[in-house]
Structure 1
């Protein structure tokens, strides 16, 4: 928890799996298969208990790049009220590609619901750590 506390103090988002690790390490990342590309997605959250940002930072890493090239990734800040996202790092992806991938990933609303639950869990854990 020391590393988590350091990130909290610096105002850096903390990955959900850092705070609530999966003992089997099978569910630390979400998986998305999008038109032949496999992505691993890590979700991070602000742990400042006084902050009301209501956002999740999602890092999409292409797991099996084509032609043996280095894996590529992009990062977004997703609004948990369902009103969009901001791109923080595009990698080699175009804005249009990112838009299509994010729309596909969030289309049915189940992930948005889950991210809201995780956001609340992270805020509660932050309060517990600070007390």
Structure 2
């Protein structure tokens, strides 16, 4: 937990899997057009911050195309339902990211789940800081 506290103090986002590492659902998975993505969700846990976003890091784990590092991109997903902003594009085109995001949140359940996870993270942070 010390690493999590350091990240909070420095204003970094904290990955859900860092706070709840034994969960079966600590990462999201997405199959899209023959590609498989692993998605890590991170949140700002600074108790004084009012941001309502999830930082989503999409890592393409299949196919790897003989690259040393996996292709990835990151978006800041607004938890109030007002879209997202591309934070890091990687080797992906903006149109492809838009299409992946539409597929990822097609049924709007992801937004609800991200809000629940954000609430869990904030509650755990309050517990740790108390």
Which TM-score band applies after superposition, normalised by the shorter structure? over 0.9
Distance 1:71 1:65 in 2: 9
Name which of 35, 38, 41 aligns with 1:37: 35
Q: What residue is the counterpart of 2:108 in the other structure?
A: 109
Structure 2, unmatched stretches of 5+, are none
TM-score (norm 2): 0.94
Paired residues for 1:19-38 under 5 Å? 19-22=19-22, 26-38=24-36
Whether the aligned pair in 2 keeps the contact of 1:65 and 1:72 (CA below 8 Å) is no
Distance 2:41 2:50 in 1: 17
Distance 2:94 2:48 in 1: 32
Q: What residue is the counterpart of 1:15 in the other structure?
A: 15
Shift of 1:28: 2.3
Q: What residue is the counterpart of 1:57 in the other structure?
A: 55
Q: What residue is the counterpart of 2:125 in the other structure?
A: 126
Structure 1, unmatched stretches of 5+, are none
Whether the aligned pair in 2 keeps the contact of 1:59 and 1:74 (CA below 8 Å) is yes
Distance 1:16 1:4 in 2: 10
RMSD: 1.2
Distance 1:115 1:121 in 2: 10
Whether the aligned pair in 2 keeps the contact of 1:13 and 1:46 (CA below 8 Å) is yes
Q: What residue is the counterpart of 2:81 in the other structure?
A: 82
TM-score (norm 1): 0.93
Pairs aligned (count): 129
Shift of 1:81: 1.1
